[in-house]
């Protein structure tokens, strides 16, 4: 899809955010976007594999929407080949459609929700690409996600920002639009927490290498984490009681809801129950190791025979 700059007079602008929240209009205030960490890793991988003459890469965002379309969860993405110069931009829309059809065979519930681009700034071609994706997701609005791969934006992790577009001018033209910032956060599931923590642990290692921790180490880390949270909450409660800190009604309600669901168990009984479960887990680990060893011995004996 080539687009010549000589035939398209672009009027591209970005609405200024107020208060650091990204809310600029009632239209953008109603939008919320959550991004899965897998999407960010896929964008970074696409950027690292780009051609030498490419300054940025683009791709299609996939995910789910709420019924009214104002809540978007970006779960996946795929790259789209493109080539842009100061005179024109070419986007392989045939590849985009083929990739989406293949993706639907694996994840039929995920739909096109927008597109991504690397770089901290919007260039003159963003409005035209946004117009294409707006037609793809109609009647909803397309989400545009940008990632600062140069890490020049220090106020946000990886410089991830999301926008929706609004046409400007009379009559409105596809190439004339304003990008409105909308709130965006990274949302991950509990199953992904261990993988993210493992990746974060490599930041302090000079060789950027790490290994999977054992079940006992994982249990120990979980207990230490719970103890730290309890100490932090206990410190907050004591400061409020002593008048060193003003009470927060929202935090108080959260604490009451948490305490109300905790069963009342005697300390001795809880210690006995915990040790019993711990012994059961150690027995299962011991039996699994014995089974693994026996299978290894049996496999070697079969090779000898």
Kindly report, residue by residue over 191-246, the tens digit of the pLDDT: 677 777 777 666 666 666 667 777 777 778 788 888 998 899 999 999 999 988 88
Which H or E run includes 29?
A: helix 26-29
Residue with tokens 């046409």: 167
pTM exceeding 0.85: no
Look at strands 143-147 and 161-167 and give their pairing. Answer: antiparallel
The pLDDT assigned to 223 comes to 85
Cβ neighbours of residue 111 closer than 8 Å, sequence gap 6 or more:
62, 63, 64, 65, 137
Kindly report, residue by residue over 235-262, the tens digit of the pLDDT: 999 999 998 888 888 888 988 888 888 7
Look at strands 32-35 and 58-65 and give their pairing. Answer: unpaired
Q: How far apart are CA 130 and CA 126, in angstroms?
A: 6
Could you tell me which residues are beta bridge partners of residue 278?
Answer: none
Q: How far apart are CA 139 and CA 216, in angstroms?
A: 51
Kindly report, residue by residue over 62-86, the tens digit of the pLDDT: 999 888 778 899 999 999 998 888 7
Q: How far is CA 21 from CA 11, 74, 182, 194, in A?
A: 25, 20, 8, 29
């Amino acid at each position: 899809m080539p687009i010549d700059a000589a035939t398209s007079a672009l009027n591209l602008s970005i609405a200024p955010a107020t208060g650091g929240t990204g809310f600029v209009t009632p239209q953008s205030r109603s939008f919320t976007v959550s991004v899965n960490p897998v999407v960010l890793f896929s964008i970074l991988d696409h950027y690292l594999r780009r051609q030498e003459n490419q300054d940025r890469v683009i791709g299609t965002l996939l995910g789910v929407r709420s019924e009214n379309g104002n809540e978007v969860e970006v779960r996946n993405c795929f790259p789209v080949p493109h080539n842009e110069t100061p005179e024109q931009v070419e986007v392989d829309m045939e590849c985009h459609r083929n990739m989406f059809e293949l993706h639907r065979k694996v994840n039929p519930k995920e739909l096109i929700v927008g597109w991504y681009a690397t770089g901290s700034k919007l260039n003159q071609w963003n409005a035209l690409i946004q117009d294409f994706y707006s037609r793809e997701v109609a009647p909803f609005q397309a989400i545009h996600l940008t990632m600062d791969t140069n890490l020049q934006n220090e106020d946000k992790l990886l410089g991830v920002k999301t926008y929706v577009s609004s046409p400007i001018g009379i009559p409105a033209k596809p190439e004339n639009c304003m990008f409105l910032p909308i709130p965006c956060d990274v949302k991950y599931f509990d199953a992904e927490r261990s993988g993210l923590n493992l990746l974060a642990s490599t930041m302090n290692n000079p060789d950027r290498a790490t290994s999977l921790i054992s079940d006992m180490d994982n249990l120990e880390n979980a207990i230490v984490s719970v103890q730290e949270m309890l100490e932090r909450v206990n410190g907050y409660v004591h400061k409020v009681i002593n008048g060193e800190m003003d009470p927060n009604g929202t935090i108080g309600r959260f604490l009451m809801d948490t305490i109300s669901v905790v069963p009342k168990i005697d300390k001795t009984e809880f210690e006995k129950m915990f040790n019993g479960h711990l012994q059961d887990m150690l027995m299962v680990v011991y039996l699994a190791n014995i089974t693994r060893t026996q299978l290894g011995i049996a496999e070697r004996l079969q090779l000898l025979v």
